[in-house]
Amino acid sequence: MGTIANRAETLLGATVVATTPVAGGDICTSTRLRLSDGSSALVKTRPHAPDDFFTTEAEGLRWLAETPGAAVPEVLAAEPDCLILSWVDTARPSVDVAERFGRQLAATHRAGAPGFGTVSGRDGYIGTLPLPNRPAPSWPEFFATRRILPYLKLAWDRGNIAPEDAAAVEGVVRRIVDLAGPAEPPARIHGDLWSGNVLWGQDGRGWLVDPAAHGGHRESDLALLALFGLPQLPRVLDAYTEEAPLADGWEERVPLHQLFPLLVHACLFGGGYGARAAEAARSLV
């Protein structure tokens, strides 16, 4: 079992009886640990990770777990070299589970945040990229200066977005106040809520993992759920809006909120993501 098991035993004070690789994810190596008491845990490692990479994720998980909303794995250990979480057994989501998750996600968002940004003001990570989190006085300013412009510049510097496509995104930034919709208080959001970061538990709950948690706009989480196709998404959204109605025009604002993850993907993967970001931008102006 090697070093991972030995490290986990030191941190958990429990004997690891077996380890199994967990498929999925291209940033960290994930391993299931079977412990001597019959329970399981998940350990995440990454070679040469920044010292605060895993502790920042743990901080976000604990912050989300403070709410009576969506389920979050328990942080069992968080160190510069690894993160250990309680294990979640998964299953296919039923209609009832999807609707329950929609209501619970609304409760997570409703728990709120002190401002737009992180409570600590410390930067985090989105994938392998740094994520600016210094608070801003309004969501339009936060989204423009902490979410769109940094990744537009990085995509440009890496040659992953064409000049005319970058100009389309810049046009959104210039009109961000008009496009943002009615002002809302800061919501407690996951921040990277694509479908792969929702685990459908055998216990009938949807679990939030791998967050970039901060005070933001709740429509950002919902738009990201739609970007890569969450199973049972219509049921999730129906239950969410019954629990916490959204402001008029929220569906037209989905491309606005999707600009951020599309630009991140342009930075990381190139391909057609710069063009997709521009397509989203052009649909708004």
Q: Supply the residues annotated as catalytic.
A: 192
Q: Which residue has the tokens 């040659």?
A: 159
Strands 40-45 and 29-35: antiparallel
Taking the C-alpha atoms of residue 10 and residue 43, their distance in angstroms, rounded to an integer, is 13
C-alpha distances (whole Å) from 276 to each of 30, 176, 225, 228, 230 are 30, 19, 17, 13, 19
Angle between helices 233-243 and 95-110 (to 10 degrees): 40
CA distance 126 to 173: 21
Strand, coil or helix: what is 87?
A: coil
C-alpha to C-alpha distance for 174 and 55, rounded to whole angstroms: 35
Tokens of 197: 């970061």
CA 61 to chain centre: 10
Q: For residues 208 and 160, give the distance between their C-alpha atoms in angstroms, rounded to a whole number.
A: 30
Distance CA 283, CA 281 (A): 5
Q: How many CB atoms lie within 10 A of CB 103?
A: 16
